[in-house]
Amino acid sequence: MGNKLDDLLENGPVAINIGVQDFMENLKIQGSDVLQVDWAPPAVDDAEMLELLDKLL
Amino acid sequence: MRVAKRLTEQKGVLQAAALMGTEKNKSLLAEIGVAGKEISMATPNDLILAVKAENQQVIEEVLGNIDRWLQPPPDRAKTIPLRTLEEAIARLPQANLAVVSVPGQYAAREAQKALAHGLNVFLFSDHVPIEEEMSLKRYARDHGLIVMGPDCGTAIIGGIGIGFANAVRRGPIGVIGASGTGIQEFTTLVHRAGSGISHALGTGSRDLFAAIGGISFLSALEALESDHQTQVIAIIAKPPDPLVLANLRPRISRCPKPVVACFLGLPSKEFLAHVPGQIARTLDEAATLAVQLATGKTPPSFNIEPSALPVLIRRERAGMNPEQKYLRGIFAGGTFCYQAQQILKEAGILGYANAPLEGNKRLPDSHRSIEHTLIDMGADEFTAGRPHPMIDSRLRFERLLAEGQDPEVAVMLLDFILGFNAAPNPAGDLVPAIAGAKQEAQKRGGYLSVVASVCGTEEDPQNLKEQIKLLKETGAVVFPSSAQATQFCALLLASGKKRG
């Protein structure tokens, strides 16, 4: 337990940014390895349906 | 956020908001007087752009440009976008952190996906239901991960700032913080005192609530204990739920490294008697104590020389009219607003706030100050569909000018927060409003004192020295920390009372 958080502190952040693009750009400026996910709200706005879709995909 | 900022920057636009058509957002818009058929028909998949302008022509211009503004910049459009977390992980399999800032109602879903893929999560989004927070944090704890957030503004990991963070030196002090601006002030003060930060881990503002029980706090504590770089651990938070504290206390007491605890908000003596570690009343004290413990030496003081204060007070008091007796604190950082209320209360100064600490009254209307008023401009009622005041100074600008019209205002207390993701020129943005408010006071034959603090370092993109210089040139008294700026305001108000 605690190993993945320990890894993060030991090796520094290698990040995937989901949302505000400025966060990705500022991580990059600081020399961090980072990728941006071009997130969009799900087409279906129904929690139950989304859960089913998550399981299927 | 970019579109909202762009809208507010257009000449002739008085107010603008860009937000998704959720029920919560619609009611927030209604609260600021924006309503209508189109808005009530909007669904969470619609984007609402609300603009209040000087005239119809400005509206037409905005409508004519809006499609273009919604397009991504050309350099971004060229690259093939990654649509899902899974696609990103396939491209970056060594990823160890997801930074999530999507709207609150979708945030837990994205965070859960990231945790399931073995990623730690920095969850900037707010408005995440507490049950979802609980479930995310339990999952993270059981899988050796951490969820920093929801509503986590700041973290620093191995010298890399995430969210709103400053460029600070690496060093021996580790931080666990439930407040973003609290972490920013603490880490920059440590930097300015010559020491540095190993890691600063945010927990989110509700982690020490009874419903969560400090799950992320404990994970952070455990990680900092085993981290080789960290020699001292600082805790920055509002007072936790008493039961949570009772549970955490034996765990903190067992910590093999020295602990400095700063629980802002005037905790009682009984409470403090149960806090393990060294207690700091303010962020300044916390930084000094932590540096002392880490280096074995008293750090060079970042305080203004005390002997200089009476001269400054006389100077700031000299031109004031007798009716000038009130303080207006207009804050970008919520923690600064909170800490200022604590310091002023200790000095016997009570008043109004939109997020009042015990003893202060809640403002009936956040947009209108009464007597001594302290305003957190980052609160929901100001940020619905608009960028946070740390990114966009427009609302603070207008508020400063409005306060400048009040002949009873003696002193304005301001904070300026530098760092990654903050506005490129926070001081410069407000300089014309400071000058304007001062001029108004002068026209009435009075003098308006403007007292400011700048949270940042010289390595920040905005450059600390330059920002301080800009403020001083406008006649503001600038302090190295928000606590000191507030203490100065208390002295200034007390001197007025004596005189009056």
Q: What is the pLDDT of residue B73?
A: 64
- What is the model's pLDDT at position A1? 46
Query: Is a pLDDT exceeding 70 seen at residue B293?
Result: yes
- DSSP conformation letters of A12-53: --EEEEES-HHHHHHHHHTT-EEEEE-----S---HHHHHHH
What's the confidence (pLDDT) of residue B161? 98
pLDDT at B338 over 50: yes
Residues B362-390, mean pLDDT to the nearest whole number:
92
Facing residue for A16 by CB, picked from B1, B95, B159: B95
Q: Are A39 and B114 in contact (CB under 8 A)?
A: no
A5, A28, A57, best to mutate vs chain B, most B CBs in 10 Å? A5
Q: What is the residue-averaged pLDDT of chain B?
A: 91
Q: Which comes out higher in pLDDT, residue B221 or B386? A: B221
Q: Do B45 and A45 touch (CB under 8 A)?
A: yes
Least confident interval from A39-53, B135-149, B295-309, B392-406? A39-53
B 222-241 → A contacts, CB under 8 A: 222-224, 226-227
Write down the pLDDT at residue B109. Answer: 94
For position B2, what pLDDT does the model report? 67
- State how far residue A56 is from chain B, nearest Cα, in angstroms: 14
* Candidate ranges A37-51, B11-25, B382-396; pick with highest mean pLDDT: B382-396
Instruction: Report d(CA B340, CA B347) in Å as an integer.
Output: 11
Average pLDDT over residues B83-92: 94
pLDDT of residue B160: 98
| A chain contacts of residue B420, beta-carbon cutoff 8 Å | 26, 29-30
Rg (CA), chain B: 23
Residues of A in Cβ contact (< 8 Å) with B89:
16
Q: Which residue has the higher pLDDT, B329 or B247?
A: B329
Stretch 103-142 of chain B: residues touching chain A, C-beta under 8 Å: 103, 106, 109-110, 113-114, 118-120, 122, 124-125, 141-142
Residues of B in contact with A29 (CB under 8 A): 420, 461
Residue among B96, B113, B461 minimizing CB distance to A8:
B96
CA pair distance B126, B123, nearest whole angstrom: 8
Would you say B222 and B241 are in contact if contact means Cβ atoms under 8 Å apart? no
Would you place residue B208 in the very low, low, confident or very high pLDDT band (cuts 50, 70, 90)? Answer: very high
In percent, the amount of chain B with pLDDT more than 70 equals: 96
**Residues B114, B89 contacting (CB under 8 angstroms):** no
**In whole angstroms, what is the distance from residue B364 CA to residue B210 CA?**
29
CA distance B163 to A24: 9
Q: Give the integer Cα–Cα distance in Å for B428 and B467.
A: 7
Q: What amino acid is encoded at B342 in this protein?
A: Q
Contacts of B218 in chain A (CB under 8 A): none
pLDDT higher than 70, residue B66:
yes
Cβ atoms B415, B455 nearer than 8 A: yes
Supply the pLDDT for residue B72.
66
Q: Best interface-test mutation with A: which of B46, B48, B106, B131 has the largest number of A CBs within 10 A?
A: B106
What is the structure's pLDDT at B79?
63
Q: pLDDT band at residue B261, thresholds of 50, 70 and 90?
A: very high
Per-residue pLDDT, B370: 97
The C-alpha atoms of residue B178 and residue A32 are separated, in whole angstroms, by 24
Q: Which band of pLDDT confidence, cut at 50, 70 and 90, is reported for residue B455? A: very high
- Assess whether the previous peptide bond of B150 is cis (omega < 30° from 0): yes
| Greatest mean pLDDT range, B57-61, B68-72, B375-379 | B375-379
pLDDT at B74 over 90: no
**What's the pLDDT tens digit per position in A1-57?**
448 999 999 999 999 999 999 999 999 999 999 999 999 887 766 666 666 666 665
Q: Does the structure show a pLDDT above 60 at B76?
A: no
H/E run at residue B16: strand B13-20
* Predicted local confidence at residue B313, as pLDDT: 95
| pLDDT tens digits, one per residue of B19-34 | 777 777 787 778 777 7
- Partner residue opposite A23 with nearest CB, options B92, B101, B109: B101
- Residue at A48: amino acid letter: E
Candidates A6, A10, A18, A36: best to mutate against B (most CBs of B within 10 A) is A18
Mutate which: A3, A6, A8, vs B, most B CBs within 10 A: A8
DSSP assignments along B315-355, one per residue: HHHHT--TT--EEEEEES-HHHHHHHHHHHHHTT---EESS
Mean pLDDT calculated for residue range B412-435: 97
- Complete edge-to-edge strand list for the sheet that includes strand A14-18: A33-37, A14-18, B97-100, B120-123, B147-148
For a pLDDT cut of 90, what percent of chain B falls above it? 70
Instruction: Inform me whether the pLDDT recorded for B150 exceeds 70.
Output: yes
Is B3 at the interface with chain A, CB within 8 A?
no
Decide which of B384 and B430 is more confident: B430
The predicted structure's pLDDT at residue A44: 61
pLDDT, one tens digit per residue, over B346-368 is 999 999 999 999 899 999 999 99
Looking at chain B, which residue has its C-alpha nearest residue A53?
A: B109
Range with lowest mean pLDDT among B217-221, B364-368, B380-384:
B380-384
| Beta-carbon separation of B120 and A8 below 8 A | yes
The two structure tokens encoding residue B361: 């009254």
CB contact, 8 Å: A14 with chain B? yes
Task: Please report the pLDDT score of residue B464 as a whole number.
Answer: 96
Res B500: pLDDT: 45
Asked whether the beta carbons of B438 and B475 are under 8 A apart, the reply is yes
Lowest mean pLDDT among B256-270, B395-409, B410-424: B256-270
By the CB < 8 Å criterion, does A8 face chain B?
yes
